[in-house]
Amino acid sequence: MMLHRARAVILTDIDGSMIGYDGSRDGVRETVELLNAHHIPTIPVTAKTAHEILYLGEELGFASGGLIAIVEMGGAICATTHLPLPGDPIEVKGLQCYPLGDPIAGFEHVVEEALEGCKSVRLSRASLDDAERILGLKGLEALLATKRLFLEVVWSDDRKCLEEASKKLSKAGLNTFLGRRFLHVGSHRGKGEAVLRLLDVLKSMMVGRPRIVGIGDSEADLEFLELVDEPIVIPQGSTSLNLRLRRSDYMIPPYPAPQGWIWAVRQILLRV
């Protein structure tokens, strides 16, 4: 990965930030290739699995020259090369993944108890048909989304059911995030903690002090956007309320993903 003398590094959420929630990604690969040409690494910070990131890294070009990613909403930091992180990494198809929390198998009994009586689908156990239906993805992409190790994702068309399960799981000591359609459950502390650990590692791998840019669109991204030099908030739609950070020095592109991400990257390239 192009880290040694990078002038900037982009930490980016994927869904709703780099690509649209409907899967649209027109122009993203060409924009990533521009970043590659300027030696600006793209590091995903996402709820997606390591398997999904490997697939998208090849499709969208951010795996060119190597790959570093924060996956499963901070569940692990993964890379194609060794990183100076504590603990033994887990190998996922050539990626070395350093867990920041317990595997799903260690807490799934608590999840099952919290979901008792609730008609729901756990993504780590979903059939391909269920994964396609609830995610809006097809074939391989839907299958890769089920290969979860650290973050359980629960879907239900009963919002109250998810809210009650979230309260039970929080009382049991797990960390939860309830988004618009899914309940995310893990023992790790989210994207913010993972980004803090990754930034410490990156300092030892880079010469000088490159600008750290963060791009996100949802409340799950708030913590890590507060940590970067230059935060960028991608709007979720022309009529939606934008994410609000505690700091005031953040940029909001005029478009949702993927056009907003492309617009933001071009602004970054104008200043490097």
Specify the CATH architecture of the domain 104-186. 2-Layer Sandwich (3.30)
| Every domain of the chain and the residues it spans | 8-101+190-270, 104-186
Tokens of 48: 């997606």
Secondary structure element (H or E) that encloses residue 265, with its range = helix 259-270
Query: Is pLDDT above 90 for 271?
Result: no
- DSSP tag of 237: -
Convert the pLDDT of each residue in 155-173 to its tens digit: 999 999 999 999 999 999 9
Convert the pLDDT of each residue in 174-213 to its tens digit: 999 999 889 999 999 999 999 999 999 998 888 788 999 9
Q: What is d(CA 52, CA 47) in angstroms, rounded to the nearest whole number?
A: 10
Query: Is pLDDT above 80 for 116?
Result: yes
Q: Give the CATH fold of the 8-101+190-270 domain.
A: Rossmann fold (3.40.50)
> Could you give the dihedral angle defined by the CA atoms of residues 160, 108, 182 and 179, in that order, rounded to the nearest 10 degrees?
90
